[in-house]
Structure 1
Amino acid sequence: MKQVVLLLLLLCLPVSVAAYPERPLTLLVGFNPGGSVDRQAQLLVELLQQELGQPVELLHYPGAGGAAAAAMLAASSEQGYVLQYGPSHTYTFTPLVSPTSYDLGSFRYVAAISRDQLALVTSSRAPWSNWAELLKQGRQLGELSYATQILLDRYLISRIASKEGINLRILPTGGGAGMAGLVLAGDADFAFSGGTHSRYLETGEMRLLAAFGEERLLLAPEVPTLQELGYDLVLDSLRVITVPADTPDDQLERLVQAFASITQNPRFIKLTRDTMQLPVVFHSGTELQAFLEQQSSSLRSLVEQQPH
């Protein structure tokens, strides 16, 4: 009888649940080292380690503009122990136009922590100084070479080239570092950049041709947007932290707290806002979900308008 009573008492004792995280984490980046996402991620792993008290490994898994890493994340059973950092359009656009093993609902979204400054760039040594002069050169030569990083920028630039009647020679890259190498060497006439251009504007090696967003760029307010240049195209992108869909609420909330703190960290602000000239933001929960759903809807409309 005493053994039965003892067993019942043991069953009634509260179960001790280990505090998250109890082991190391991994931060995925879907681009090659050297670009602007990687520059932020290098600091994020350090700051996240301080916030969570566990080692964080940075893992580069480039391919398809972040989609290869997103597919890996969607298939992961590691819950909140594996995260991805990258642009929102990896989740909102790529599944609309190419076969993927994930869609917008395949993840939980921790937070958006900065806003991209998407632009078209060229070498400062190029004979053209603005968009109109580049187009004139393209019409004279019959072709322009273009360095691309993601599926979405190829999609948008193809619409522009079709409207202008210019042939493009597409040069794929695995991220900002690859793009910069082609532009600076003169192998690409112009290119898409998500933020890598900031360091080369400082050195005078690159110049901006146009901004993709609804508003002009923070670091170059004199550069027109594509809308101002006469194209019905707008692309604003947030840089977001995502985790697998089965991540428990308590883990998600702990990560939200950690990244909220990181966006207030002077080192993150200095790198992101002051050095890279990317606005620091913090969006989470329903606010972030609403942005992603609206972006996905807008891009779906864009795809449906594309002539086949």
Structure 2
Amino acid sequence: MQANQRKPHRPGRIRATLTLIGLAATLCCTAYAQGGYPARPVSLVVGFAAGGSTDKLARLLAREMQEALGQQVVIENRPGAAGNIAAQYVAQAAPDGYTLFMATLSSQAINPWLYAKPGFDPLKSFEPVALVARYPLVVAVNPAMPTQTSAELLAYMRANPGKVFFSSAGSGSPGHLSGELVKSQAKVDMTHVAYKGGGPAMLAAMGGEVTLTIETIPAMIPHVKSGKLKGLAVTSGQRSAALPQLPTLSESGLAGFEVTSWAGVVAPAKTPPDALEKLQAAVGKALAVPRLKSAMEADGALPSYMPGKQFQVFTAAELKRWGEVVRSANVKAD
């Protein structure tokens, strides 16, 4: 055959190949659209170690979600950087509905202001599935402190400027920033001491290393009930059924004060809408199960179902609010 002689053109073979490609794509999309999701277990990634309040909530939720989805929901713990490591991992995962993130107040509304490069955008990197729960923080002091109420504690702070120290789970933690809000709104002077986790922060208050501590209610309940810490108030707008004897800070003289930590489920950006709808429905059904509601309320968590766009609007508002607090208090990451 001469060098410039071309092989015969075979339009039939090309058409057949294109037809097969098109058919394969159609079958794939049709299988997905006809309710194929979820066809395998779903991972729910938690940014904290096993045993913590976020992990416990995720496991309670996963148990009920898998009943609604018909597939196992597996908890995957990826602790570090106050949830940033897990958030970045999920943000970079395939947007197929099989990798979800247990987003929190810290990861979505506080960390983006503390870290120059968190590795994700709290709004653009994720699709909101649903808000799951909100829970207050507890203000507690060493039992030896003479103050019996938060109003007395505020008076003590005013009478002892520079002598009051409060502990939290770390710089930029919800407990730390709640304390900064108390300082600002009550116009009192107290010094923050950051510890590596809520456990050490509470132990510091028990041992008298600091005057008081502010931590989320699931972690505080056993210590307040045992008397190892003297609970004075909750930070939410209403009292908690888990510790009903504690008034709110708003009741105690800080009118309008309200802070709740929260957790919700998000998926990677561009996750298909039908997968998101099924996940939203599964979360809604899970939160309606009496045993889940009872378990959450025993830990002081308030079931707070808020799907899709509502959750996105809520997250954007929280991001703005806590950005202002971080800037005002000049908070830096540990």
SS in 1 for 2:260: coil
Question: Structure 1 vs Structure 2: percent identity of aligned residues?
Answer: 23
Farther-moved stretch of structure 1 (177-186 vs 57-66)? 177-186
Alignment equivalent of 2:120, drawn from 96, 102, 122: 102
Aligned counterparts of 2:201 and 2:58: Cα–Cα separation in 1: 19
Hey, what does 1:113 align to over in structure 2?
A: 132
Aligned counterparts of 2:324 and 2:126: Cα–Cα separation in 1: 23
Alignment equivalent of 1:272, drawn from 284, 296, 299: 296
Hey, what does 2:214 align to over in structure 1?
A: 192
**Shift of residue 127 of structure 1?**
5.1
**Shift of residue 267 of structure 1?**
1.7
**Shift of residue 151 of structure 1?**
3.0
Structure 2 vs 1, CA of residues 107 and 62 (structure 1 numbering), >3 Å: closer, same or farther? same
Farther-moved stretch of structure 1 (280-289 vs 257-266)? 280-289
Structure 2 vs 1, CA of residues 42 and 177 (structure 1 numbering), >3 Å: closer, same or farther? farther
Which residues of structure 2 form unaligned runs of 5+? Answer: 1-11
Give the partner amino acid of 2:288: Q
Hey, what does 1:151 align to over in structure 2?
A: 173
SS in 2 for 1:289: helix
Hey, what does 2:5 align to over in structure 1?
A: none
Question: What's the CA shift string for 1:46-70, capped at 9, x where partnerless?
Answer: 2233332333322222233323322
Structure 2 vs 1, CA of residues 293 and 117 (structure 1 numbering), >3 Å: closer, same or farther? same
Aligned counterparts of 2:289 and 2:89: Cα–Cα separation in 1: 30
When normalised by structure 2's length, the TM-score is 0.75
Q: Is the Cα contact below 8 Å between 1:34 and 1:177 reproduced in 2?
A: no
**Shift of residue 290 of structure 1?**
1.8
Aligned counterparts of 2:23 and 2:162: Cα–Cα separation in 1: 81
**Shift of residue 83 of structure 1?**
1.5
SS in 2 for 1:282: strand
Aligned length: 303
Hey, what does 2:163 align to over in structure 1?
A: 142
The alignment status of 1:297 with 2:316, answered yes or no, reads no
Farther-moved stretch of structure 1 (198-207 vs 58-67)? 198-207
Which residues of structure 1 form unaligned runs of 5+? Answer: none
Aligned counterparts of 1:290 and 1:189: Cα–Cα separation in 2: 37
Hey, what does 1:30 align to over in structure 2?
A: 47
SS in 2 for 1:46: helix
Aligned counterparts of 1:77 and 1:71: Cα–Cα separation in 2: 12
Q: Is the Cα contact below 8 Å between 1:24 and 1:55 reproduced in 2?
A: yes
Hey, what does 1:288 align to over in structure 2?
A: 311
Alignment equivalent of 2:81, drawn from 64, 73, 76: 64
Alignment equivalent of 1:40, drawn from 53, 57, 75: 57
Structure 2 vs 1, CA of residues 289 and 92 (structure 1 numbering), >3 Å: closer, same or farther? same
Hey, what does 1:214 align to over in structure 2?
A: 237
Aligned counterparts of 2:285 and 2:258: Cα–Cα separation in 1: 31
Hey, what does 1:235 align to over in structure 2?
A: 259
Structure 2 vs 1, CA of residues 58 and 122 (structure 1 numbering), >3 Å: closer, same or farther? farther
Give the partner amino acid of 1:269: K
The alignment status of 1:17 with 2:39, answered yes or no, reads no
**Shift of residue 262 of structure 1?**
0.3
Aligned counterparts of 2:319 and 2:239: Cα–Cα separation in 1: 22
RMSD: 3.5
When normalised by structure 1's length, the TM-score is 0.80
Q: Is the Cα contact below 8 Å between 2:181 and 2:325 reproduced in 1?
A: no
Hey, what does 1:50 align to over in structure 2?
A: 67
Aligned counterparts of 2:144 and 2:45: Cα–Cα separation in 1: 35
